[in-house]
Amino acid sequence: MKKKIYFGIDLGGTTINIGPVTVDGQILEERVINTNVASGPINAIERVAQTINDLIKESYSDCEIVSVGIGVPGILDPKNGKIIEASNLPGWENFEISKELGRRINIPVFIENDANLAALGEQWLGAGAGSSDMFMFTLGSGVGGALITNGTLFSLNGVSGEFGHMIVNMEGPKCSCGRLGCVEAYFSKHGLKRITAEHLQFNPSSSLRGYEQDKITPQIISHAALQGDVVAQEIYNEASRALGIAISNIVNILGVHKIVIGGGIANAWPVFYGPLMDTIKETVFQTNVAKVKLVKAELGEKAGFIGAARYAMQNVNP
């Protein structure tokens, strides 16, 4: 019997990660190519197809290539394999990515939001392994969220929730979506910059004063916090309170107890884990406190293509 192989693809604005994965979770290899957004979607998909075909020819010609999954940032139509809108992929609007790639490799192709598939990857082989139910927040330029139930990605009518736009403070700051007090207005790259600017107005002694405000990153803030800068610690405390309230809402409403935190800002884990847990303990139902397991994501940048491969498996063999 031929070994069954599933390809996972994580499509980003800068790079595209491609890798074959077996049904038992063996990651066989990974290839990374440049997206070259300016060259357009057809050029990128032709190079993705060439990479997959080359890999098959070089190493997997004796295997059964069952299906392909792609994680894509933006608003999608997964049922029809179409990218509706993707802010960091200009020119890709209304692009039928599943059709265009599928006809070049002659393999079924399935698409889903990249943050959702990163969560699926973590649930399968990462920080959520062993938990059939899990929620993941991805902290980066924005805030993504994904719910896994019974080992599969939860969606209602084909649409996954915008958990990053959960309102945690009706009188809070304006979010990029135009509403007030979303989680993303606090614990995202832009949210942390906003909080920093506010705090530095009244704290001239902070070490963060040594940087131009538009050059201050979450990494710089977390480093300052670890060095004992009280202002930097307060910045993460404020963001953590907002995220903690959101997590408590999810735990209280859905009953899910495994919470995974991923994305680039999760590297500040030593700074925000304590205040985040303090808020969760304060706001979650007391019967749930001992059950909540808050963990940092483990797969890093590999989570996307691993989750995409898992998604490909689940769609062919639901």
- Tell me if 24 is assigned to some domain: yes
Structure tokens that stand for 5 in this block: 């192989």
- Tell me if 162 is assigned to some domain: yes
- What is the structure's pLDDT at 160? 54
- What is the structure's pLDDT at 221? 96
Query: Do 104 and 206 lie in a common domain?
Result: no
Query: Do 32 and 65 lie in a common domain?
Result: yes
Distance between CA 144 and CA 28 in Å, rounded? Answer: 28
Query: Do 160 and 261 lie in a common domain?
Result: yes
Segments of the chain scoring below 70 in pLDDT: 156-161, 317-318
Query: Do 306 and 291 lie in a common domain?
Result: no
Query: Do 21 and 60 lie in a common domain?
Result: yes
Q: Measured at the alpha carbon of residue 207, what is the angle toward residues 206 and 211, in degrees to the nearest 5?
A: 115
Q: Which domain holds residue 115?
A: 4-121+301-316
Query: Do 186 and 73 lie in a common domain?
Result: no
Distance between CA 134 and CA 132 in Å, rounded? Answer: 7
- The conformation of residue 124, written as its DSSP 8-state character, comes to H
Task: Provide the number of structural domains found in the chain.
Answer: 2
Stated pTM of the model:
0.89
- What is the structure's pLDDT at 317? 62
* CA distances to 54, 82, 112, 220, 246 from 259, in Å: 38, 30, 21, 25, 11
Residues 6+ apart with CB under 8 A from 152: 120, 314
Query: Do 214 and 182 lie in a common domain?
Result: yes
Computed over its alpha carbons, how large is the radius of gyration of the chain? Answer: 20
Query: Do 36 and 144 lie in a common domain?
Result: no
Query: Do 30 and 141 lie in a common domain?
Result: no
Where residue 139 sits, what CATH number does that domain have? 3.30.420.40
| Helix runs in the chain, H state only | 41-59, 97-105, 114-125, 189-200, 218-226, 230-254, 269-283, 286-289, 303-316
Query: Do 275 and 139 lie in a common domain?
Result: yes
Query: Do 170 and 227 lie in a common domain?
Result: yes
- Tell me if 126 is assigned to some domain: no
Query: Do 263 and 156 lie in a common domain?
Result: yes
Structure tokens that stand for 129 in this block: 């392994």
Contact 4, 312 (CB under 8 A): no
Q: What is the pLDDT of residues 142-183, one digit of tens each?
A: 898 999 999 888 876 555 567 889 999 999 999 988 899 999
